[in-house]
């Protein structure tokens, strides 16, 4: 069983801006969400914690690890999609600045990448590599919306955009039964 947490809300999430690999501190709400995430995690039967190597996930994983008495393992495989030159811009700003490129990306993000970023195919390859290594482990993962959506897609074929979790949401995946559950914390 995997328990996948999307990191708490950041200031850029609050402003509805892409931030992929860039740094963004938690918002006021994000600080509250972190406390709820840590409290919720106490009950989970996990024997390992993995997290993205980006600070917004590492901080949450470290707080959870304290109560679980586990050592979190950071990995680049769990990083959010690299939005390249789109970091720090909102969807609306990008559709005005790069209307043709944005349309191509929204229509087919599997083969079209943000400027100097990566495609969803590249992100899926990272997720698949991690899945193969840990599929039989009871894991708690702190990562990003795009990563969590792609792990869900390994089981179901729903559109990527419909699988993006909210900040501080927990998605459980049972790889044996192919069951997915969404839990608001």
pLDDT tens digit sequence for 11-23 = 998 999 888 888 8
The CATH code of the domain that includes 91 is 3.40.50.1240
What range defines the domain where residue 79 resides? 2-184
pLDDT given at position 179? 95
Name the residue with tokens 């894991």: 139
The end-to-end CA distance of the chain, in Å, is 18
Asked if 56 contacts 26 with a C-beta cutoff of 8 angstroms, the reply is yes
pLDDT class of 111 with cuts at 50, 70, 90: very high
Tally the domains of the chain. 1
Task: Describe the strand order of the beta sheet including 169-174 as a list of residue ranges.
Answer: 72-75, 48-52, 139-143, 2-6, 169-174, 179-184
pLDDT class of 110 with cuts at 50, 70, 90: very high
What's the predicted TM-score (pTM) here? 0.92
Beta bridge partners of 49: 72, 140
């Amino acid at each position: 069983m995997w328990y996948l947490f999307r990191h708490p809300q950041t200031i850029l999430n609050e402003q509805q801006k892409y931030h992929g690999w860039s740094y963004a501190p938690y918002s006021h709400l994000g600080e509250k969400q972190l406390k709820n995430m840590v409290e919720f995690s106490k009950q989970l039967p996990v024997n390992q914690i993995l997290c993205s190597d980006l600070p917004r996930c590492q901080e949450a994983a470290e707080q959870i690890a304290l109560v679980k008495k586990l050592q979190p393992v950071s990995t680049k495989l769990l990083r959010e999609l690299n939005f390249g030159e789109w970091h720090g811009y909102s969807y609306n700003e990008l559709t005005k600045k790069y209307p043709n490129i944005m349309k191509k990306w929204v229509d087919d993000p599997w083969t079209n990448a943000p400027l100097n970023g990566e495609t969803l195919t590249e992100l899926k390859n990272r997720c698949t590599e991690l899945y193969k290594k840990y599929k039989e482990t009871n894991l708690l993962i702190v990562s990003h919306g795009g990563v969590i959506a792609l792990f869900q897609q390994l089981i179901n074929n729903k559109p990527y955009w419909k699988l993006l979790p909210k900040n501080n949401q927990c998605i459980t995946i049972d790889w044996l039964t192919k069951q997915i559950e969404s839990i608001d914390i």
